[in-house]
Chains A and B, each alone.
Chain A
């Protein structure tokens, strides 16, 4: 799997790019899922963290810096939560590659901080041995020690430290207790010399002749002996957690709570986000108008106002929606409900060939496929993961919304359908969402019977005790998400806007911009017109389809630019009226259906290539979705 992470960037080049001085110690945070590792990481680094983006790839690695007591700096990397090093899941492979120093841009860590949930000490300590076998200075953090005590449990950490041969500290990361001891350990970490041997991260050490099962049993025996010596008293079961599970996993109430949660998430994305989005829109268009009136009338103003501002603005408007979705997902995950939701969804997912863990990526897909595909990393079965990320782009992401909104408003009459409950427009929107789900389910069903055929795998889900999420961690996650989103929006949309604008300006006619039909952009559209003519699309829509390959919502800005430039005046022609002139209702519905199916998103293709380590899957996905889109639109034009 080394090839997955070394895509031609030299170690030195990537290091220089991240600005990593060679003398700053690097410490990796490792631990099982739900051990509070990330909360501890957030406590230690605060806002001094960034999501490292390596050249050309989208892997998310959280790296932060810690100010040490003696004012030196230390770099901390937060690894995904893992139970072992079997390299079965992508998370485990990433963890292993970082620990072995094979992740480009990060050298092997100088020390490790292993965080465990002390209320589940015995099972969590199964990770201790493989970590200690790495032979790197390690600190064992017994997190949630307040909960252990409150529920009547205890452990003698001095004996534990002695028997394991590592330093042990207690923390309550959520409340920020015990951080000084962790900082003190970090203060003593020195950069390892180049002579030190790097060991492999494995579940079963090489050279050990034991079969896997026996190796685990032996390890379990040693852990048991150590835990008994340290006089570990397991805590009583958590009463509130049991009472909540009695409802959330109840035969009748469980699915109802699940449904209520899904409805709440949707409601928040589509109604509560609206005032915030209006606010962002107001700011963007307001500042655009201010620029238009302030700057002198030159080509530069045209580029800035019509190209950059409207282009970037059309994407930034989705920020509130994405943040609200991630706030909800964060609360669901940190509270422990997400694990229950996965259990409830599992049977349903199982029927279409997926598994319960696919629920989170598919739900996230309603905001954006990129983080959703990354969220699928926790799916331990490789075929399940591939099937999940293959169908995720069928979920109606928020980038499709502006396209749907424009076309529905222009072509679907605002007539009541079910009395006061639903009108034709809302029903159309709902239908488009449903069509996406049908496509996803059908595709998953098909995939698991053909390319990803496998015997039904297992599904294992640990249900952590319910906990109150830490507002601090939630806030940091949102800051993180905003940064990633804005960076992406900035890069892609900014570039597209500038290129588009330039293509409308050339070739020059009498030292001025050409008529839109004769511009480079117009000619590109006319070139593909024969291919899309059967769908009832003319070259203008063709240009929109081409530019929306970068990101779906770009088509709205593109059409705005084309019709605006065509009109020749500064008052751009009413886009809806222009579309009504150029499209029949049938081809408008065809265009809607095209957008339900087609993979018009560069970011998704890039993240797919990254997550599947090659072009095979993204190419297949792109071709398959395009074929569905073309056929769907072709049929729609003839039916409506």
Chain B
């Protein structure tokens, strides 16, 4: 599946050492590209409807008082559970900060 057509070419290609990267591992304000959703279809569908699709760019902007991620995607804010964030495989667009 050609997901790169959705986006302009990423500036930095994913480091093979970071291939197992999940959204839950990403620090705040680091934009990443979603590569794969590791969830069964019925659980993935609400994400898909809201535009959380392979190829989209996600940026964790805040964490909730209980430590769950709040991400920005296509200008919308979306709150997830950290368990869900661990099922979203991502790759870096720029080198990891820090």
List which B62-98 residues lie within 8 A (CB) of chain A.
Answer: 62, 64-66, 68, 70, 72-81, 83-84
The distance in angstroms between the C-alpha atoms of A88 and B64, with both chains bound, is 26
Q: Is A120 among interface residues, defined by CB-CB distance under 8 A?
A: yes
The distance in angstroms between the C-alpha atoms of A344 and B79, with both chains bound, is 10
The distance in angstroms between the C-alpha atoms of A83 and B1, with both chains bound, is 24
Among A123, A249, A456, point to the contact of B75 (Cβ < 8 A): A123
Task: Please name all residues of chain B whose beta carbon is closer than 8 Å to the beta carbon of A464 when the two chains form the complex.
Answer: 77
Known: A120-B76, A463-B78. A213 touches B84 (CB 8 A): no
CB distance from A356 to the nearest CB of B (A): 8
Binding-face segment, B10-18, B20-28, B51-59: B51-59
Q: Is A517 among interface residues, defined by CB-CB distance under 8 A?
A: no
Q: Is A235 among interface residues, defined by CB-CB distance under 8 A?
A: yes
List which A80-110 residues lie within 8 A (CB) of chain B.
Answer: 83-84, 86, 88
CB distance from B42 to the nearest CB of A (A): 7
Q: Are B41 and A343 in contact (CB under 8 A)?
A: no
Q: Is A216 among interface residues, defined by CB-CB distance under 8 A?
A: yes
Q: Is A459 among interface residues, defined by CB-CB distance under 8 A?
A: yes
Q: Is B19 among interface residues, defined by CB-CB distance under 8 A?
A: no
CB distance from A107 to the nearest CB of B (A): 27
The distance in angstroms between the C-alpha atoms of A84 and B53, with both chains bound, is 15
The distance in angstroms between the C-alpha atoms of A343 and B62, with both chains bound, is 12
Q: Are A217 and B3 in contact (CB under 8 A)?
A: yes
Q: Are B81 and A221 in contact (CB under 8 A)?
A: no
The distance in angstroms between the C-alpha atoms of A28 and B64, with both chains bound, is 36
Task: Please name all residues of chain B whose beta carbon is closer than 8 Å to the beta carbon of A251 when the two chains form the complex.
Answer: 65
Task: Please name all residues of chain A whose beta carbon is closer than 8 Å to the beta carbon of B73 when the two chains form the complex.
Answer: 123
Among A220, A235, A344, A350, point to the contact of B56 (Cβ < 8 A): A220
The distance in angstroms between the C-alpha atoms of A483 and B97, with both chains bound, is 57
Interface code A182-223, partner B: CB below 8 Å = 1, 0 otherwise? Answer: 000000000000000000000100000001111011001100
Q: Are B51 and A220 in contact (CB under 8 A)?
A: yes
Q: Are A255 and B65 in contact (CB under 8 A)?
A: yes
Q: Are B50 and A460 in contact (CB under 8 A)?
A: yes
Known: A88-B42, A212-B41. A460 touches B78 (CB 8 A): yes
Task: Please name all residues of chain B whose beta carbon is closer than 8 Å to the beta carbon of A457 when the two chains form the complex.
Answer: 43
Closest to B56 in A: A220
Among B41, B50, B53, B64, point to the contact of A217 (Cβ < 8 A): B53
The distance in angstroms between the C-alpha atoms of A83 and B48, with both chains bound, is 10
Q: Is A462 among interface residues, defined by CB-CB distance under 8 A?
A: yes
Closest to B78 in A: A462
Interface centre among A120, A217, A459 (most CB of B within 10 A): A217
Q: Are B68 and A122 in contact (CB under 8 A)?
A: no
Interface centre among A122, A123, A254, A350 (most CB of B within 10 A): A123
Known: A250-B65, A344-B66, A458-B39. A221 touches B46 (CB 8 A): no
Task: Please name all residues of chain B whose beta carbon is closer than 8 Å to the beta carbon of A343 when the two chains form the complex.
Answer: 64, 68, 70, 79
Q: Are B6 and A460 in contact (CB under 8 A)?
A: no
Interface code A552-593, partner B: CB below 8 Å = 1, 0 otherwise? Answer: 000000000000000000000000000000000000000000
Interface code A456-481, partner B: CB below 8 Å = 1, 0 otherwise? Answer: 11111111100000000000000000
Closest to A220 in B: B53
Closest to A344 in B: B65
Q: Are A88 and B6 in contact (CB under 8 A)?
A: no
CB distance from B30 to the nearest CB of A (A): 16
The distance in angstroms between the C-alpha atoms of A334 and B74, with both chains bound, is 22
Among A120, A252, A460, point to the contact of B79 (Cβ < 8 A): A460
Task: Please name all residues of chain B whose beta carbon is closer than 8 Å to the beta carbon of A119 when the two chains form the complex.
Answer: 75
The distance in angstroms between the C-alpha atoms of A234 and B75, with both chains bound, is 7
Task: Please name all residues of chain B whose beta carbon is closer than 8 Å to the beta carbon of A350 when the two chains form the complex.
Answer: 81
Q: Is A48 among interface residues, defined by CB-CB distance under 8 A?
A: no
Interface centre among B66, B74, B77 (most CB of A within 10 A): B77
Among A211, A213, A462, point to the contact of B50 (Cβ < 8 A): A462
Q: Are B49 and A220 in contact (CB under 8 A)?
A: no
The distance in angstroms between the C-alpha atoms of A19 and B78, with both chains bound, is 43
Q: Is A346 among interface residues, defined by CB-CB distance under 8 A?
A: yes
Closest to A83 in B: B49
Q: Is A347 among interface residues, defined by CB-CB distance under 8 A?
A: yes
Q: Is A126 among interface residues, defined by CB-CB distance under 8 A?
A: yes
Q: A126-B50, A234-B74, A234-B75 are in contact. List 19 more A-B contacts (CB 8 A).
A: A83-B46, A83-B49, A83-B50, A86-B49, A123-B51, A212-B41, A217-B1, A221-B6, A224-B6, A237-B75, A245-B77, A343-B68, A346-B68, A347-B64, A458-B43, A458-B46, A458-B80, A460-B79, A462-B76
Which are the 6 A-B pairs with shortest beta-carbon distances? A347-B66, A463-B77, A123-B51, A84-B49, A83-B49, A216-B48
Q: Which residues of A contact B (CB under 8 A)?
A: 83-84, 86, 88, 119-120, 122-123, 126, 203, 211-214, 216-217, 220-221, 224, 234-235, 237, 245-246, 249-252, 254-255, 339, 343-344, 346-347, 350, 380, 456-464
Q: Which residues of B contact A (CB under 8 A)?
A: 1, 3, 5-6, 37, 39, 41-51, 53-56, 62, 64-66, 68, 70, 72-81, 83-84
- A-B contacts, 22 of them at CB < 8 A, read A83-B49, A86-B45, A86-B49, A88-B42, A88-B46, A212-B45, A214-B1, A220-B6, A220-B51, A224-B6, A245-B77, A339-B79, A347-B64, A347-B68, A458-B39, A459-B79, A459-B84, A460-B50, A460-B79, A462-B76, A463-B77, A463-B78
